[in-house]
Amino acid sequence: MSYEHILVAVDLTEECDPVIKKATQLALNSNAKLSLVHIVEPMAMAFGGDVPMDLSQLQQQQFDQAKEKLEALKLKYPEVKTGDSHLTYGQPRQEIHQLAKEHKVDLIVVGSHGRHGLSLLLGSTANDVLHGAPCDVLAVRLIKRTE
């Protein structure tokens, strides 16, 4: 199966390397465009939207750091130059689906920890992105160091 535009979602931790590598292989095999996306989740959202202090400066720092890391990834993986890189505020599932629709993405690639137990009940970004996705989704299994 051949894809035309692959969007790889990165959390900007060291775990995003195997996810980008897999997406890069697929993009090369399909001669597809490869784009990157990272979503910065608003801090107020993480605290339940009810925080009695101004988080705007911290939020800006978080955004700036994410921008630097995304730039570093673009240098490390030149294949990403075939597409775009997106850095946006919001909720990962919603933003990734929106971008996929707007940019005619036909495959979204995410990392998956293959959780079980309590963390399975709490859900994961990979699970979240899969539900209601406007195109195919590939979950790249991330192996824990202890496995």
Q: Binding residue for ligand AMP (CB under 6 A) from 6, 7, 10, 73?
A: 10
User: Which residue, 28 or 46, is less far from ligand AMP as judged by CB?
Assistant: 46
Eight-class DSSP state of 84: -
Q: Report d(CA 9, CA 37) in Å as an integer.
A: 5
Within a 13 Å sphere around the CA of 71, how many CA atoms are in the beta-carbon half? 6
Output the six-digit token pair for 53.
């202090």
User: Which residue, 38 or 97, is less far from ligand AMP as judged by CB?
Assistant: 38
Spatial contact of 37 and 65, defined as CB atoms under 8 Å apart: no
Q: Report d(CA 144, CA 15) in Å as an integer.
A: 10
Between 56 and 95, how does the x/- string for binding to ligand AMP read (CB under 6 A)? ------------------------------------x---
Q: Binding residue for ligand AMP (CB under 6 A) from 5, 33, 38, 93?
A: 38
Task: Report the interface residues with ligand AMP, using CB under 6 A.
Answer: 9-11, 15-16, 19, 37-39, 92, 110-111, 113, 124-126
